[in-house]
Structure 1
Amino acid sequence: MLAPELSQDSTKGDCIDQLIAAHKPGHGLARPFYTDPDIYERDLERVFRRHWHCVAHESVIPKPNDFEVFKMASEQVIVTRHADGTIHAILNVCRHRGAEVCTRDKGNARVFVCPYHAWSYGNDGSLKAARLMPKDFKREDHGLKALHVRVVEGLIFISFAENPLDFSEVENLLHATCGQYGWGQAKVAHRRSYPVDANWKLAVENYVECYHCGPAHPEYSQTHALEQPLHMIEALNAAMEERTCALGIEVGCGDHWQTSANGKETIHAFRYALYDGVKTGSQDGSPLSTLMGRFTDFDGGVTSIHLGGTSFLVCYPDHGMIYRFIPKGPETCEMELIWLVNGEAEEGRDYDLARLTWLWTVTTDEDKAIIEHTSRGVRSHYFVPGPIAPMEQNELRYINWYLDEISRAS
């Protein structure tokens, strides 16, 4: 039996709703969810523009008037640090004729001047000057579109929604997790972006499950016990928590993975062990950098955080990882990796960049290949999604969450 397709005799919305209704529980998504332009547009409307996204660590704009432009789907967002230290997120769209007002990827600027007609905006988005406009023109009504911003433990989050989802549970859990690892005092050591020829959901689904870790990631699987079924690592996890408590640290966990129906953002934080003798996520398990936050020794564990549908965090005692998944089109996306270290650490003295980045570079190179293999496969007219394995429980939960999100207009 072939996978269901979008019918040609109904409205676009009806077709998508019929496809959602036809989804077989416990199975993967049908081909159109990864290829159809109309579903992609609904993804942008009901997932991308509804939820919060982590765009960066604030250390990328350390000085007053620093800025960086982030390209997400069809949007360009200028993230700025105002002269008073506050962080703003504004759309790179002139309020006159729509031209890009900022033509550099990053820099330092108090004012952005549109290259088309020279309207000038402060780096908080306020319109400062609009040449030759009539006397009754009100500058205060024509500032750049501002997005909602939250900064928690050094992480910058933005929301495109007019009325964003409640962020309080996310904020509390980030304090209990990233806060213990000192992310508020961290800095970015390295960033790398991966263009991927696949729908963004294929990339996220791959990230959230470790059923593939054994076959696809031999390097990761030598040090991380998550590649084993949960019941097989319970003893390792118990020993990890004992070591963490002995250090006087309580790293929070919490499962607030929920749909937006109740007006709250979703987050899930959990911990898992490294194999005995492994201290951190390195090639041989040995330390990579100076310890962070409240850690005075290695506890042999990892804290993993999934939030908002596109942002994922990994905490080790000596470094951290931010994973960003960015839709680019119906069958293209981007993965950005951001490596964090202690804010006082110096490259060449406290860490070697090649060693720091080795594991997750190797792993992500492998992920990109396997995601693109999958993308080519699901384009087949004969592709039928199979059942989700027990070790893919996070993928199953993600799929169910996603289907609920795109089922609801608000």
Structure 2
Amino acid sequence: MHALPLTQPSQPADWIDRLIAEHRPGYGLARPFYMDPAIFERDMERLIRRHWHCLGHESIIPNPGDFELFKLENEAIILTRGMDGVIHAMLNVCRHRGAEVCTKPKGNAKVFVCPYHAWTYANDGTLRAARLMPKDFDRHAHGLKKLHVRVAEGLIFISFAERPLDFDPIAQALRASCGQYGWAEAKVAHRETYELEANWKLAVENYVECYHCGPAHPEYSQTHALEQPAEMIAELNAKMEQRTCALGIDIISKDQWQTSENGQEAIHTFRYALYDGVATGSEDGKPLAPLMGRFTAYDGGVTSIHLGGTSFLVCYADHGMIYRFIPRSVDRCDMELVWLVRRDATEGVDYDLDKLTWLWKVTTEEDKKIIEHTARGVKSHYFEPGPIAPMEYNELRYINWYLEELARA
């Protein structure tokens, strides 16, 4: 496998290290972290190119020869299923002069032919033909650059790192969580991408805290209890766990949120309850689709997974959600939402797509507005970060983790 080494900064950036050192504990990030192109480049070098990222569910490329293009900052990734069924991820960069070899967003192809000089690559990235090259030219040394790929519970993960972080604990955590919900036997019901005029960290910080849920998400707050005081949440969670155990299901909450210093990925699995009488994440709390995995009834709970800084997963008993954060530039990012249902479920018969997607579409449209409000606000030269509220404990942890990763060469 040919993986990409981490790039090195082109010039000293001691001022970034000083800015990290000057961060005030318990407070948000300073303005340059959202505005400065040099910090964005370090984000790409030390976070995006170091950690694992979920591209989606393998059901999007079900057949041999299927492919889809993904973009992350300036990198274009060809995700393919080879003729032997194995999934590959390659950079969309010809090994001759760098032209894009895949020019369609998705499809089915046995080969990719560069439109510039017709170098031809198999859908596993190997170079099949390079016209008019000398006899001693080594085709085997000029395949498309490949990324590390792992598939766990139907989810496809890629890493740009030359030596990727240990994935085995991630696979185990996903088996103990998404595996109980049958995600390996799921399929994609819908995908939606939201373009944001905001630094990617503003979007992630918004996602990981529910301090804003009450004022910003009245629809979400009708069914999800995360904005309630800790005592009430604990009581609801205890009832939820009793119902889950009564179904013979044991979903392990485990906090492995850590820096990559010891070669480990960050992952945190946790559970929380819906309000009493609410079955799932829907407009009215009523069921949306056939039960998944080991669930034979609704337990009134949600399992949430935070993974590697850009990938977030939400498991309901009858559907799942993949939430991807995709940096584009210092002041632009995308959020992609992916809805999963049981593989044998039929749209219009087993589920209504509008009802299935309603809650998270409404919530994400609201998030887009408040994130962009914040992005415009932090542009002010007079912006100073305020203290993190107690309910924003996940954001505080994310900020501290981010700063440690950014400081680690």
Query: How would you bin the TM-score normalised by the shorter chain?
Result: over 0.9
How many angstroms does 1:227 deviate by? Answer: 1.6
Question: Is 1:347 aligned to residue 347 of structure 2?
Answer: yes
Q: Deviations over 1:162-218 (max 9, x none)?
A: 000001111100000000000000000000000000000000000000000000000
SS at match of 2:327: strand
Q: Which residue of 2 aligns with 1:77?
A: 77
Question: Is 1:208 aligned to residue 208 of structure 2?
Answer: yes
TM norm structure 1: 0.97
Q: Which residue of 2 aligns with 1:270?
A: 270
Aligned length: 399
SS at match of 1:317: coil
Q: Which residue of 1 aligns with 2:5?
A: none
Q: Which residue of 1 aligns with 2:364?
A: 364
SS at match of 2:179: coil
How many angstroms does 1:253 deviate by? Answer: 1.3
SS at match of 2:124: coil
SS at match of 2:34: helix
How many angstroms does 1:232 deviate by? Answer: 2.3
Ranges in structure 2 where 5+ consecutive residues have no aligned partner: 1-10
SS at match of 2:338: strand
Q: Which residue of 1 aligns with 2:8?
A: none
How many angstroms does 1:229 deviate by? Answer: 3.1
C-alpha RMSD over aligned residues? 0.6
Distance 1:228 1:112 in 2: 53
Q: Deviations over 1:82-138 (max 9, x none)?
A: 111110000000000000000000000010000000000011100000000001100
Moved more, 229-238 or 384-393: 229-238
SS at match of 1:189: strand
How many angstroms does 1:26 deviate by? Answer: 0.3
Question: Is 1:305 aligned to residue 305 of structure 2?
Answer: yes
Distance 1:331 1:233 in 2: 36
Q: Is the 8 A contact 1:325 1:333 kept in 2?
A: yes
Q: Which residue of 2 aligns with 1:125?
A: 125
Q: Is the 8 A contact 1:280 1:317 kept in 2?
A: yes
Q: Is the 8 A contact 1:169 1:256 kept in 2?
A: no
Q: Residue 103 of structure 1 aligns to which amino acid in structure 2? A: T
Q: Which residue of 1 aligns with 2:6?
A: none
Distance 1:231 1:326 in 2: 35
Q: Residue 229 of structure 1 aligns to which amino acid in structure 2? A: P
Distance 1:156 1:352 in 2: 26
SS at match of 1:101: coil
SS at match of 1:141: helix
Distance 1:12 1:29 in 2: 22
Distance 1:324 1:309 in 2: 10
Output aligned runs, 1:256-295, within 5 Å: 256-295=256-295
Distance 2:268 2:292 in 1: 22
Q: Which residue of 2 aligns with 1:158?
A: 158
SS at match of 1:28: coil
Q: Which residue of 2 aligns with 1:144?
A: 144
Q: Which residue of 2 aligns with 1:180?
A: 180
Distance 1:226 1:55 in 2: 27
SS at match of 1:227: coil
Q: Is the 8 A contact 1:12 1:38 kept in 2?
A: no
Q: Residue 34 of structure 1 aligns to which amino acid in structure 2? A: Y
Q: Residue 359 of structure 2 aligns to which amino acid in structure 1? A: L
Q: Which residue of 2 aligns with 1:219?
A: 219
How many angstroms does 1:81 deviate by? Answer: 0.4
SS at match of 2:156: strand
Greater than 3 Å deviation, 4+ residue runs: none
How many angstroms does 1:252 deviate by? Answer: 1.8
Q: Which residue of 2 aligns with 1:5?
A: none
Q: Residue 356 of structure 1 aligns to which amino acid in structure 2? A: L
How many angstroms does 1:12 deviate by? Answer: 5.0
SS at match of 2:38: helix
Distance 1:408 1:315 in 2: 33
Q: Deviations over 1:378-401 (max 9, x none)?
A: 010000000000000000000000
Q: Which residue of 2 aligns with 1:14?
A: 14
Q: Deviations over 1:62-82 (max 9, x none)?
A: 011100000111000000001
